[in-house]
């Protein structure tokens, strides 16, 4: 009998994480895998385009749980996912990252007595006001198999009382996708990218992403930040693929936008990769980009007060700016003067994390017999 795995994805960063896993699992006869797309992200540029770029097959189930408040979204995903679990009876539900879909599906699985594996387990920002921190803590509190990207994840889980034999330091599946994307870019005609007309005329530029509720949901915070980003854009052209949450809020708050910031719609995985890997620096509040920039040695200035990915600071190119935006201007100057922080690539961020995960899953199920 084959082991039946469910792989859960709902948001943009999830698609990048499940893609290498799906490819690796499909090489193994012992598993049947069903892909469940919760529909948390639903715009073409936020979801479907990633399926094309990363060659992800169409989902086996689409839960269409778009929109609503966080709790409405979680509740919708839970009730729809429960029905799928009851029908399909998976042996293991694999969740990735820290989004609402991760939390909702892990709770459902455990309530039905199904085992849960969490990819990217153990990360902690220690900031419980972050929706993702709640998702991480609750998911890890009911996870059976913890797949860990960096040593801090291992230490956090030990401190929380998890048994060592459920913890697996495997590296970072996001970096598996990054390597896949780099190879694909080599063979592509880049002139088809919308952003190519900007970057081909620019000697240097920076990339910006912004979507955390702590940065974009409050009018004063967002307008202050956009003011400083306007100042940055006078030093270096700033290309800003804008997230739907941020776009809605800029409009709602009537915030004036600096002329030098180049706004573009959300980009496909490959187009965005091509954009940021050619940039002088990335300014971001994303978690994944802190890791990706570290993997390629691109300077990263994180527009948050903390990071759940401390290895990107201790070993990588990341600097956490916090709310001290004068520091932001100073660090931008340093990078432009060629004095950027140099980093190294963390252990196991080598493009083989999903291979390690699948080997471990095979071992686990071989033992169970």
Catalytic residues: 211
Q: Cα–Cα distance between 71 and 357 in angstroms, integer?
A: 31
What x-and-dash track marks residues 245-264 binding ligand UD1 by CB under 6 A?
x-------------------
Binding mask 47-86 for ligand UD1 (x = CB under 6 A): x-------------------x--x----------------
Distance CA 280, CA 39 (A): 34
Nearer to ligand UD1, 67 or 265 (CB): 67
Distance (Å, whole) CA 96 – CA 9: 7
Alpha helices, DSSP H, located in 118-172 = 131-141, 151-159
Contact window for ligand UD1 (CB under 6 A) among 10-18, 83-91, 317-325, 350-358: 10-18
Question: Are the C-beta atoms of residues 268 and 45 closer than 8 Å to each other?
Answer: yes
Return the number of other C-beta atoms located less than 10 Å from residue 314's C-beta: 13
Kindly tell me which residue out of 43, 155, 160, 333 binds ligand UD1, with binding defined by CB under 6 A. Answer: 43
DSSP, res 369: -
| β pairing state of 92-96 and 261-264 | unpaired
Query: Which residues, numbered 115-154, are part of the site for ligand UD1 (CB under 6 A)?
Result: 131-132
Give dist(CA 293, CA 287) in Å, integer: 11
Toward ligand UD1, which CB reaches closer, 202 or 255? 255
12 near ligand UD1 (CB under 6 A): yes
Among 80, 118, 211, 309, binds ligand UD1 (CB under 6 A): 211
Please state, in angstroms and rounded to a whole number, the distance separating the CA atoms of residues 45 and 64.
16
Q: Within 10 A of 141 (CB to CB), how many other CB atoms are there?
A: 12
Neighbour-count burial of 327, counting CB atoms closer than 10 A to its CB (0-12 exposed, 13-18 middle, 19+ buried): middle
Least spacing, CB of residue 369 vs ligand UD1, in Å: 37
The answer to whether residue 11 forms part of the interface with ligand UD1 (CB under 6 A) is yes
Please, what is the minimum distance in Å from the beta carbon of residue 217 to ligand UD1?
9
Minimum distance from residue 170 beta carbon to ligand UD1 (Å):
21
Handedness of CA 58, 366, 364, 142 (dihedral sign): positive
Kindly tell me which residue out of 19, 38, 40, 340 binds ligand UD1, with binding defined by CB under 6 A. Answer: 40
Footprint on residues 218-247 left by ligand UD1 (CB under 6 A): 244-245
**Residues 90 to 119 in contact with ligand UD1, rule: CB under 6 A:** 98-100
Question: Which residues here bind ligand UD1, judged by CB under 6 A?
Answer: 11-13, 40-43, 46-47, 67, 70, 98-100, 131-132, 211, 244-245
């Amino acid at each position: 009998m084959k082991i039946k795995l469910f792989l859960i994805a709902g948001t943009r960063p999830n698609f990048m994480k499940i893609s290498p896993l799906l490819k690796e699992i499909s090489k193994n006869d012992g598993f049947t895998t069903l892909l469940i797309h919760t529909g948390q992200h639903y715009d073409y540029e936020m979801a479907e385009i990633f399926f094309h770029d990363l060659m992800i097959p169409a989902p086996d189930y689409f839960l269409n749980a778009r929109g609503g408040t966080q709790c409405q979204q979680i509740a919708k995903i839970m009730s729809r996912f429960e029905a799928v679990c009851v029908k399909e009876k998976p042996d293991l539900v694999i969740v990735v990252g820290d989004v609402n879909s991760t939390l909702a599906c892990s709770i459902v699985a455990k309530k039905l007595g199904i085992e849960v594996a969490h990819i990217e387990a153990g990360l902690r920002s220690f900031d419980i006001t972050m929706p993702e921190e709640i998702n991480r803590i609750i998911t890890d509190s009911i996870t059976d198999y913890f797949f860990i990207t960096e040593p801090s994840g291992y230490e956090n889980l030990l401190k929380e009382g998890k048994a060592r034999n459920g913890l697996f330091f495997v590296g970072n599946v996001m970096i598996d996708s990054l390597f896949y994307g780099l190879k694909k870019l080599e063979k592509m005609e880049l002139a088809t990218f919308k952003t190519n007309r900007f970057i081909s005329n620019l000697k240097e530029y920076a990339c910006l992403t912004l979507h955390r509720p702590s940065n974009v949901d409050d009018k004063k915070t967002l307008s202050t930040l956009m003011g400083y980003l306007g100042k940055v854009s006078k030093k270096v052209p700033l290309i800003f693929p804008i997230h739907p949450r941020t776009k809605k809020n800029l409009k709602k708050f009537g915030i004036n936008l600096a002329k030098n910031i180049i706004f573009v719609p959300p980009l496909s995985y490959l187009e965005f990769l091509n954009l940021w890997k050619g940039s002088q620096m990335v300014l971001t509040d994303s978690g994944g980009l802190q890791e990706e920039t570290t993997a390629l040695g691109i300077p990263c200035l994180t527009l948050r007060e903390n990071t759940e990915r401390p290895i990107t600071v201790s070993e990588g190119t990341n600097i956490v700016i916090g709310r001290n935006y004068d520091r932001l201007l100073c660090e931008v100057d340093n990078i432009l003067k060629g004095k950027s922080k140099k980093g190294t690539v963390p252990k196991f961020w080598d493009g083989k994390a999903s291979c390690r995960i699948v080997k471990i899953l095979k071992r686990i199920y071989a033992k169970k017999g």
